[in-house]
Structure 1
Amino acid sequence: MSKSVLQILTRMGPDPQSCERRQQTQAFALGAASKEEAPQAERITMEETMPTTMSESPQADPTPGSAGEAGASAGDCSAGAGPSSMEAQASTASAADVSHSASGSKEEVDPLSAPAHGCEVFVGGLPRAAQAAQVEAWASQIGPVHSVSLRADPQHPGQSKGYGFVTFKSRDSASQALSRLGNEELPGFPGLRPRVQPSAAKNKLYVGGLPPDMSQGEVLAALRDLVRGVEGVELLMQRDSASLSRGYAFVEFYNAAAAGLAKARLQDPETRVGDRRVSVDYADRE
């Protein structure tokens, strides 16, 4: 509190009629002091409440003049106004993490009972009030649907964040959806055509820290003893040796769900491949 303000408060006498004036002066003084002491906190609060910025990724940019963009410009808060950076990040996840049926129920998924990698598409620009059953009916115009997963908005129960995944029962249906489904209106939302994009869910893992003397066949056998859904292994060999590897491999799985479960298992401190604990991450290469 500044010295001038303290002097004002000190000079004020005990006159009962001035009580209200003293209280107002004290409140003003304390408020001024708190603003002087914590301007940075105020700025941080303002920054945290800023709306999410639009993604600059070409994959996530809304098409000019699209129904989703038109709805947003008209002030329709129930529709997805275009993909945010959070939406772009979510497109790299797998719909098989949690499967939502048309009724909205959640169930654990056996990765090998789900369709193979390549049967899933990412769907954005959905109305936040859209339900899984409506998305399933929309996608079923292309082919049989295995599951629909909408990312829930925890701040608004019963609503999604405006994006999710559709997993078809075949790769052919997923391929057709990429070229045709975006032209179809979503049931219950006249004029609205959600975006359909390839899912970026990954079904390949990088596994490092392998014993150099393990052969590709031995690595494959060891991994199949530990995890499910291993489709193949690419072991990188040393340039000057045909029998020793560089200690890492790229492992392909049946689908993204199998890769995710394998990643968690291989990261367990008790898990060993050969006689070593390995390092695991999603592979960047296709």
Structure 2
Amino acid sequence: LVLRGAIRGDRAEYRTDSQHLKGACRASVRSGTQITAMDDHAEDPELPEEELPEEEPELEEEKLEEDPELPDETLAADADGDSAAPMEEAKADGGENKEEPAAEEPEEDVDPLKGTEDDEVLKKPPHSSEIFLGGIPRSLTKEELEELCQEHGDVFEIRLLKDVTTGQNRGYAFVVFKTREAAAKAIEKLNGSEIKGKKGVRVTLSESKFRLFVGNLPRAMTHAEVLEMLKKQEPGVEALELPSELNAARNRGYAFVDLYNSAAAERARKTLTRPGFKVKENVLTVRWAEPRNEIPQADLAKVKSIYVRGVPATITEANLKELFAEHGEIEKAVLPSARPGGVVRDFAFVHFKERESAVAAVKVEKVEFEGKTLEVSMAKPQPKREHEGQQG
């Protein structure tokens, strides 16, 4: 194209090289002259192509950019600098300089730091896909163990610790499969089998941390509301157990959450306890859940004690009795002493004379001591612990 315009009363024409085009546009804006485009195939007897000047040093780009009469934001130029037009005009004409839609703000209760790594965490094997092998021959190598396990499913990882002195393994190993089904199959086929002449190899499911205890939940929240809240924070949530009060109208203020794998559980633990995060003004308490041991309902129905967590170091047994005395006669309050060399324990037990008093105590919406909110739930009788495998 040839740009044609009247500048300072003199008629001039410019070819479409970047230097002349910029000069023409800037000069046109200063003088208010309209610039029109012509087909470069049109005849122009007044100024033949061979007579067009090749350079125009008086309109150098560096000098024009310093011109105070023409601010840079007045023109919108493309990446090559070969075209320029007033920004507002370009937008009005529906050109490429359309205003981008504003980015949506993240929801208040969604962790803004989480998102890009989700796939990497959930690509790792699920929980219950790791097995423990005990009593294996000490001469067994990692390659031999992998070949043995591959017969039952794809192996993701093998941990075979070696003795630094002998260079042989320590008689046990951990194998992570890519699926739970493969792990279950390996346990079925390898437990009690013979490996390299050694009989009675023990193969069990390895305990992994994938279950969280979440406390200080608003008691008015339903199962669906708590689950929705958790999944917004961590996409790896698989299951939720939300104990309810006896009348089933409210929850007990705590829940157990199963995550897809230990990596997702660890991330959820940090996400739910990040500074400033609250659920209906409640700051959650999150920790690893203890291994599950089923307690008969008949035993649970006999409980007359409550479990109080989050008690400060300044609280006394007398304070506890005074705090819960309104619910019924209290037989005793117990503050477990710290273990030798350990930190002060932050929980206590209050034993009532009647079960109805304990039930009334846990129904209270909020219990505070010296400005700190305490978690109150029914105590559980100590189950008979049985060996449930090894932990990796």
> Which residue is 1:214 aligned to?
221
For residue 181 of structure 2, give the secondary structure of its aligned residue in structure 1: helix
Deviation at 1:207, TM superposition (A): 0.9
> Which residue is 1:182 aligned to?
191
Deviation at 1:164, TM superposition (A): 3.1
> Which residue is 1:272 aligned to?
278
Q: 1:239, 1:131 → 2: CA distance?
A: 55
Is residue 125–residue 194 contact of structure 1 (8 Å, CA) maintained in 2? yes
Structure with the bigger RCO (C-alpha within 8 Å, sep 6+) is 1
Please list the CA deviations of residues 58-101 of structure 1 after superposition, one character each: whole Å capped at 9, or x if unmatched: xxxxxxxxxxxxxxxxxxxxxxxxxxxxxxxxxxxxxxxxxxxx
The alignment status of 1:114 with 2:127, answered yes or no, reads no
Q: 1:130, 1:267 → 2: CA distance?
A: 44
The alignment of Structure 1 onto Structure 2 pairs a total of residues equal to 174
Is residue 223–residue 273 contact of structure 1 (8 Å, CA) maintained in 2? no
Q: 1:160, 1:270 → 2: CA distance?
A: 47
Structure whose residues are more often helix by fraction: 1
> Which residue is 2:178 aligned to?
169
The alignment status of 1:150 with 2:160, answered yes or no, reads yes
Q: Which amino acid aligns with 2:251?
A: S
Change (3 A) 1:110 1:128: farther
> Which residue is 2:232 aligned to?
225
Change (3 A) 1:209 1:140: same
Deviation at 1:162, TM superposition (A): 3.6
Deviation at 1:270, TM superposition (A): 4.9
> Which residue is 2:143 aligned to?
133
> Which residue is 1:257 aligned to?
263
Identify which of 228, 244, 254 aligns with 1:248: 254
Deviation at 1:196, TM superposition (A): 0.7
Q: How much identity, in percent, do the aligned residues show? A: 36
Change (3 A) 1:178 1:224: same
Change (3 A) 1:255 1:156: farther
Q: Which amino acid aligns with 1:262?
A: A
> Which residue is 1:71 aligned to?
none
Deviation at 1:125, TM superposition (A): 2.4
Is residue 129–residue 177 contact of structure 2 (8 Å, CA) maintained in 1? yes
Is residue 211–residue 258 contact of structure 2 (8 Å, CA) maintained in 1? yes
Which of structures 1 and 2 has the bigger CA Rg? 2
For residue 207 of structure 1, give the secondary structure of its aligned residue in structure 2: strand
The alignment status of 1:205 with 2:212, answered yes or no, reads yes
> Given the two structures, how large is their TM-score scaled by the length of structure 2?
0.38
Q: Which amino acid aligns with 1:209?
A: N
> Given the two structures, how large is their TM-score scaled by the length of structure 1?
0.50
Please list the CA deviations of residues 157-207 of structure 1 after superposition, one character each: whole Å capped at 9, or x if unmatched: 966544332122333322222221135554xx5546642112222432221
> Which residue is 1:64 aligned to?
none
Q: 1:276, 1:127 → 2: CA distance?
A: 53
Q: Which amino acid aligns with 1:272?
A: K
For residue 245 of structure 1, give the secondary structure of its aligned residue in structure 2: coil
Change (3 A) 1:197 1:277: same
Is residue 144–residue 169 contact of structure 1 (8 Å, CA) maintained in 2? yes
Q: 1:124, 1:114 → 2: CA distance?
A: 24
The alignment status of 1:124 with 2:134, answered yes or no, reads yes
Structure 2: gaps of 5 or more residues: 1-118, 294-392
Is residue 138–residue 185 contact of structure 1 (8 Å, CA) maintained in 2? no
Deviation at 1:128, TM superposition (A): 5.4
> Which residue is 1:72 aligned to?
none
Structure 1: gaps of 5 or more residues: 1-108
Over the aligned positions, Cα root-mean-square deviation in angstroms equals 3.2
Change (3 A) 1:224 1:157: farther
Deviation at 1:256, TM superposition (A): 3.3
Q: 1:125, 1:169 → 2: CA distance?
A: 24
For residue 123 of structure 1, give the secondary structure of its aligned residue in structure 2: strand
